[in-house]
Structure 1
Amino acid sequence: MSERPDATPDGYCTNTEPVPGTIRTINASATGPKFSHLHGRRYAQCPCGKETSLTGRDNLRRHKQPQE
C-alpha cells in the first residue's frame, strides 16, 4: 500500500486529492422519490484507504482515516 497522508491530531485526513481513476457516481433515482436526493452523488478513494464523497470542485470531503 502507498504512503498514508498526514492526519490532524483529532484523526482527520489532510489530503483532499482523490486517487486518479477511482471517481464513481452513485445514481439512486431508481430507488424512489424518498431517496432521490442521493441522485448524482460522487465518491472517490483517498490514499489513506477511505472512500468518501466529493465536493463540487472534485475535492474529497473532510474525513477521518480508517483505524488500523
Structure 2
Amino acid sequence: MYLVIKERISLWEAFIEVDKIRPFISPNLGFWKQMIEYEIKIRGEASVKILSEEKVPIPNVYLYKNSIGNNV
C-alpha cells in the first residue's frame, strides 16, 4: 500500500512492481478487498477486480501474472 499511497501508482502497478522483487507474495482475499476499497476511496476506481466466477475468488492481477509466467 505504500506505493499506492506515497508514489500514487495503481494497486495493479504496485503489485507488479513488488512481485518483480518478491515473486512469492500472495495477499489473502480479505487484504485484497481492503486494498481495493482503499484504492477506490483515494483514486475513485479500482485497478484490480476480484473474479468471483473462478472456483475460488481471486484478484484478476493473478491471471495476468500467470499468463506471462514469473517474469512480471
Same fold (TM over 0.5): no
Structure (1 or 2) with the greater strand fraction: 1
Structure (1 or 2) with the greater helix fraction: 2
Larger-gyration structure (1/2)? 1
**Which range, TM-score by smaller chain?**
under 0.3
TM-score between the two structures when normalised by the length of structure 2: 0.26
TM-score between the two structures when normalised by the length of structure 1: 0.27
